[in-house]
Structure 1
Amino acid sequence: MQVSKYGFGAAPIGNLFSAVDDDEARAAVDAAYDAGIRLFDTAPHYGLGLSERRLGAALAGRPRDSYTLSTKVGRLLVPAPADAPVGRDDEGFDVPADLCRVRDYSRDGVRRSLEESLERLGLDAVDIVLIHDPDAHWEQAVSEAYPALAELRDQGVVKAVGVGMNQAAMLARFVRETGVDTVMLAGRYTLLDQSGEEELLPLCRERGVSVLAAGVFNSGLLATHDPSGTYDYAPAPGDLLARARRIASVCERHGVTLPQAALAFPLRHPAVVSVVVGARSAAEVTRNAALTAAPVPDDLWAELAAEGLIG
């Protein structure tokens, strides 16, 4: 499959952190498509299925062979217990807690999850299926989830299978021990954290496994030229905040903004085929598209390396 250099991450239109309405969500997807983005990534986890429903609705009517769609398995959505307190989801999404997530990396769980995702998306098939965050579930993920997905790939039901995680070590193990086609590496190959380059990225290059880089703003610290906010969804430590500000200063000398450099950096590695960026509005998509279209001089990377700010 050919994917666009930049992909649309659909967690924000699942009401990540705060709610957006249906029209805003559709406008964000439309803006991404109009900007030439052809990779769209979602998951049941995102808004308890809301992201999948909105993404499927927004892409309906587009030629199915004109875009690549990725979703994930590993979390089944089941009705909340009758005695559960009525309220909002407690995993970062502003949605009613009428469903709950159950971790399930079994063969049957994977097939059920995919069937339910297709129903929410309103599609007959997706292109890429990723095992989602199997950190504490290695044994079942490698012995049941991966073989189930590989079988679906062999049958032509899906085109590619892989794993998406916020860590590099277990992704490298999947690459060594299975036949995954792709990995989604979140937050571990960025301007502030290049740990993915130590083992995973060279291994993927060697094995022909494509890398989708996500979380390139490290949840917010790199999202603006004046660094602030969170790092990996927690208040940014002082040393990382200071490092981000040093990087921003170097960027400024080369006429580049910090988020512009953050978006461009991962594609410098030959194993990385696409950078997946979340957006909750058409304005955010337009802003990111403008950043990715602006050239980044090679001298910037050279100075950042000379300053010891990137490897």
Structure 2
Amino acid sequence: MRLALFDVSHWHFPLYVPALERPGIEIVGVCDGEGIAGPAVARRFGCPLVPREDLLAASFDFALVFSRHVDMPAVAEALIERRRPFLIEKPCGLTSAAVRRLDRLARESHVFVTVPFILRVSDLPVRLTDGGALDPAGFQHLSFRFVPGPLSRYEASAPWMLRADQAGGGSAINVGVHFYDLVSVLTGSPVVSVGGRTQRFRADADVEELAVFTLATASGQIAGVTTGYLYPNTAGDQREFSFSVAHRDAYFQGYADRLAVKRPGRPEAERGTIDYETDRFYPAFLDEALRRLADGRPPIAGLPEAAHALAVVEAGYRSARRGGEVVAVETGP
């Protein structure tokens, strides 16, 4: 399969490399609007580094899009116009309305578009549902903390992440969307309202470095999601990832690589491990996307899911501006 890579200075791009080096994959070209990683990536894959418009005009079977959040809709629309299937990193744009528009265009043109909500291919949905055996309506409360390293980690390759007009926001739009989506996956119910508070700590950034959102689903469950750019990470320890999930038939607690499950009427907890290294889920997601494209199946997650997650972010930001008042998630037409 012939692939085109758009804007490869994105910090997630290296995570896809194991999948891009598999047999049967050919990289036909690379573009890099940031002018940082492009030459090295082109050398690695033995392909040309070209301007974005030239890459759009090239012949390829599938594209990966890693552009600035503000630029994502334009790149996506150009690919849809050419009827080229693609993977586009979240959030796919600055507003849910822009992403819903892309979804309409993609459906009208019958274009396969997938968005890497990587937790869907992780162990979490399987382990937190007992392999699908637990009733989604039985979840009573869900709480997730995902706190990666500080904003400074973006300054070398993506300083635009410190600007709301380019990134759309901070930790909520960048990492929180994975968990707003996961809440809907586990409960089988969309998020319909949010109460949110956010904080900034750096005077030179206008995106939030802490977001604490309380979500309510259409079926009445309540979930709490905390994200932030606060963790003093090191090479082998890059984030805090922890959770507590209450279901009427089980209680799940996780931290680091540990998972404990307590069940009503049983004296001892079930203790084991779980894969928390989210970086490993990106090549797995791409592998699954290409299988689904080849088989004529829909993506595991796509623009509708991205639009909903971004609508949750927008509701959280509106709530934060109103001092934490609970506001409805606006889904639009």
TM range (shorter): 0.3 to 0.5
Higher-helix-fraction structure? 1
After TM superposition, the score normalised by the length of structure 2 is 0.31
TM-score by length of 1: 0.32
